[in-house]
Amino acid sequence: MPTVLVVDDTLFMRVAISNMLTEWGYEVVGQAANGKEAVAMYRELQPDLVTMDVTMPVMTGIAAVKEIIPEFPNAKIIMITALGQQKLIVEAIESGAKDFITKPFEPARLKAVVDQLIG
């Protein structure tokens, strides 16, 4: 069963995304509330996939990607962003993120991206 780390600063989004992934047959091995936690948890868990919020306190999702990818070049990270953050998405993709989803998103869109990367 593929493993996923869910990263978002809002508990509601972490729970919502985790529930969707669990329902689709993925194992959510961890949840992080900021980029710093995400980097530490990635090193420890080395999940098959990460859903990473862009804007978070302590450390942004992009900063986390820039720490994870050099150490784990094959990391599969999907950025989750609010509307109007296109510049940040470009930076995230250039830094090694594999794809992105814009909030609010349809569950089917998330599932399609996740399945494409690790299905």
pLDDT of residue 85: 79
- Tens-place pLDDT, residues 38-54: 999 999 999 999 999 99
pLDDT of residue 92: 95
Q: Please determine, for residue 6, whether its predicted confidence score (pLDDT) is greater than 80.
A: yes
Burial of 93 (0-12, 13-18, 19+ CB in 10 A): middle
Would you tell me how many other CB atoms lie within 10 Å of the CB of residue 63?
A: 17
pLDDT of residue 84: 78
Distance from C-alpha of 89 to C-alpha of 115, rounded to nearest angstrom: 20
- Tens-place pLDDT, residues 77-109: 999 998 777 888 999 999 999 999 998 899 999
**What is the domain count for the chain?**
1
Q: What is the pTM of this model?
A: 0.95
Lowest mean pLDDT among 72-81, 83-92, 110-119: 83-92
Query: How does DSSP classify residue 69?
Result: H
The domain in which residue 94 lies consists of 3-118
Say which CATH number the domain at 38 has: 3.40.50.2300
Share of the chain above pLDDT 70, in %: 99
